[in-house]
Amino acid sequence: MDMTINMDIKSTAMNGARKGVRNGADYIASLQDGRSVWIDGERIKDVTVDRRFRGAIQSIADLYDIQCDPALSDKMTFTSPTSGARVGMSFIQPRSAEDLRRRRDMMKTWMDAVGGMMGRTPDFLNVMVSAHASAHEVFAVGGERFAQNIVNYHEYIRENDLALTHSLVSPDIDKRKQMFEQPGEMVMRVVRESDAGIYVSGARSVATLGPLANEVLIMPAAAKFPLVADAEAYAVGFAVSIDTPGMKMICRPSYPTTGKFANDPLSGRMDEMDAVLWFEDCFVPWERVFMYRNIKAVEAAMKSPSGPHGSHQSATRSLAKMEFLLGIAYNLVEVSHSHFPNVMVQLAELVAFVETLRALVRVAEIDCIPGPNGTVVPYEQPLNVVRAQYPAMHARALEILQFLGAGNLVVAPSVEDLHSESGPAIERYCAGADIPAERRMQLTRLAWDASCSSFAGRQNLYEKFFSGDPWRNAAMRGERYPGAREAQDRVWAFLDRNGEWEQRINGA
């Protein structure tokens, strides 16, 4: 990594408070603020008690509780380099392959707790901001204060254990036009500045976890940003708290649920929500600005290792998710004793997915490369393979669950039916080979929610798009593959020996 500017930046905390890791109750209490969350035409007064949000909030709260379990302290936390408090392992700036393994162990613990079904658990952005701060020099392109700001911000979220969402992309109306040409002045941009900070207006999409987060990080998606002077007002990066005045979140509808977790175990517990952010003359203090009206800074940000570090988290999640789907599949087979060869072949496909993902994550850690300021960066290529291949693996895994579950997926009744007059009949026709109907129904409802429900559809969409336009990403990977030159040269060298072989075999 080319880090030519060698700045010696020390973090100077933005906020004196030193808290270290939070537990679930701390997290839930932190969401009870003045945030402007809109869904189904209403503004939500308190997301923590709203039926559309509270299941996922509890799932995230459980993750914070896990990191506070004294028995897991060494696995889930490390000692803050500035305060000495125990802070979340996902804030670490890894300095060795062993650090990457430790971080993955922590992330895998969280991901196993949610079956990999939540994409934007707080570790995702903790990892990315930690990576940005490790490469603070890239932010100095627009002025040294921006490099200092990213270091301070990293310390602030680490010491206060905050949950972040982020938004990298702008909505567009007419794809023939650049962001600064879009009609309706609806794309978020800087509208004015003062001695105290900047003001932004317009829309950013998509912010997954937005209503359940404490902070939002806004950065330009460098790979698709128009690097021209006209786009300057859009070339901005900053972070604000979710309850900042002048910012509202407009959410998609939540998934239809019955209100009973046995019926909709994923839809009810794991809807991390997606929202568009709408800014109206929203004030951002200078100390929270990381990039300001600077096209060169957008280009420079591409050198931040946040991409490979973020992919280390998402690949770990993919592994946990595929293991969870494999677990559902094996259980479906077990409860009906359907150990037929065609079924085993489908299970073997899932095994291949799991073991491929595990190997790719491991090799990214083992073959890590030196990064900025004494850190290491996971080797990007295997993680790129996960990003490229996982959407197809995931879609196939859902198809396998559908093949294995078949008609059972639609005959499993709700838990209310089991406790109704129809209960005795259901007890008989829904029973598994060796387990009672209620247990089999729970499993079947889970398989339905994972493979057929609205939740499952959104998961499929998420896997395709969460890290950007898959076609654009694939094109970049093809264009920039670093192993290509060596492979090409080997081919030319092979052809160069044709004459020698002529001589050796034909003597000509």
Ligand X SMILES: Cc1cc2nc3c(=O)[nH]c(=O)nc-3n(C[C@H](O)[C@H](O)[C@H](O)COP(=O)(O)OP(=O)(O)OC[C@H]3O[C@@H](n4cnc5c(N)ncnc54)[C@H](O)[C@@H]3O)c2cc1C
Give min distance, CB of 217 to ligand X, in A: 9
Give min distance, CB of 305 to ligand X, in A: 18
Q: Which residues partner with 440 through β-bridges?
A: none
Is the CB of 166 or the CB of 440 nearer to ligand X? 166
Q: How far is CA 390 from CA 377, 395, 478, in A?
A: 21, 8, 17
Query: Under rule CB under 6 A, how many of the chain's residues touch ligand X?
Result: 19
Give min distance, CB of 173 to ligand X, in A: 10
User: Residue 155 in 3-state DSSP?
Assistant: helix
Under rule CB under 6 A, residue 250 binds ligand X: no
Give min distance, CB of 294 to ligand X, in A: 20
Is the CB of 165 or the CB of 306 nearer to ligand X? 165
Residue range at the interface with ligand X (CB under 6 A); choices 77-85, 263-271, 403-411, 464-472: 464-472
In whole angstroms, what is the distance from residue 284 CA to residue 478 CA?
38
Is the CB of 275 or the CB of 282 nearer to ligand X? 275
Give min distance, CB of 274 to ligand X, in A: 5
Give min distance, CB of 507 to ligand X, in A: 56
Is the CB of 208 or the CB of 254 nearer to ligand X? 208
Give min distance, CB of 231 to ligand X, in A: 15
In whole angstroms, what is the distance from residue 371 CA to residue 310 CA?
14
In whole angstroms, what is the distance from residue 353 CA to residue 124 CA?
22
Site string for ligand X, 257-286 (x = CB under 6 A): -----------------x------------
- What size, in residues, is the chain? 508
Is the CB of 471 or the CB of 492 nearer to ligand X? 471
- Which distant-in-sequence residues (6+ apart) come within 8 Å of 487 by Cβ? none
Distance from the first to the final alpha carbon of the chain: 50
User: Residue 304 in 3-state DSSP?
Assistant: coil
Is the CB of 38 or the CB of 466 nearer to ligand X? 466
Is the CB of 397 or the CB of 409 nearer to ligand X? 397
Instruction: Please identify which residue in the block is written with the tokens 């973090």.
Output: 11
Which 134-193 positions form the footprint of ligand X (CB under 6 A)?
165-169, 175
Q: Which of 146, 138, 202 is nearest to 170 (CA)?
A: 202
Choice from 344, 406, 461, 475 touching ligand X (CB under 6 A): 461
Give min distance, CB of 301 to ligand X, in A: 14
- Which distant-in-sequence residues (6+ apart) come within 8 Å of 424 by Cβ? none
Tokens standing for residue 493 = 């060298």
Instruction: Please identify which residue in the block is written with the tokens 């009672």.
Output: 436
Helices (H), 367-467: 380-405, 408-411, 415-418, 423-429, 437-451, 454-465
Tokens standing for residue 464 = 């395709």
Choice from 395, 452, 468, 477 touching ligand X (CB under 6 A): 468
Is the CB of 403 or the CB of 465 nearer to ligand X? 465
Is the CB of 358 or the CB of 464 nearer to ligand X? 464
Q: How far is C-alpha 348 from the chain's CA centre?
A: 27
In whole angstroms, what is the distance from residue 161 CA to residue 180 CA?
36
Which 73-132 positions form the footprint of ligand X (CB under 6 A)?
120
Instruction: Please identify which residue in the block is written with the tokens 């008690």.
Output: 49
Is the CB of 130 or the CB of 408 nearer to ligand X? 130
Which 201-230 positions form the footprint of ligand X (CB under 6 A)?
206-208
Tokens standing for residue 503 = 């001589």
Under rule CB under 6 A, residue 423 binds ligand X: no
- Which distant-in-sequence residues (6+ apart) come within 8 Å of 497 by Cβ? none
Give min distance, CB of 276 to ligand X, in A: 11
Q: Which of 274, 213, 214, 271 is nearest to 52 (CA)?
A: 271
Give min distance, CB of 485 to ligand X, in A: 28
Is the CB of 19 or the CB of 458 nearer to ligand X? 458
Under rule CB under 6 A, residue 471 binds ligand X: yes
Q: Which of 222, 168, 148 is nearest to 466 (CA)?
A: 168
Which 429-448 positions form the footprint of ligand X (CB under 6 A)?
none
Give min distance, CB of 255 to ligand X, in A: 13
In whole angstroms, what is the distance from residue 320 CA to residue 311 CA?
14
- Which distant-in-sequence residues (6+ apart) come within 8 Å of 471 by Cβ? none
Tokens standing for residue 117 = 């079904």
In whole angstroms, what is the distance from residue 67 CA to residue 279 CA?
34
How many H-runs (helices) and E-runs (strands) does the chain carry?
A: 19, 14
Give min distance, CB of 82 to ligand X, in A: 28
Is the CB of 52 or the CB of 166 nearer to ligand X? 166
Q: How far is CA 129 from CA 38, 89, 162, 242, in A?
A: 27, 13, 12, 17
Is the CB of 86 or the CB of 120 nearer to ligand X? 120
Give min distance, CB of 462 to ligand X, in A: 4
Binding site for ligand X (CB under 6 A): 120, 165-169, 175, 206-208, 274, 458, 461-462, 465-466, 468-469, 471
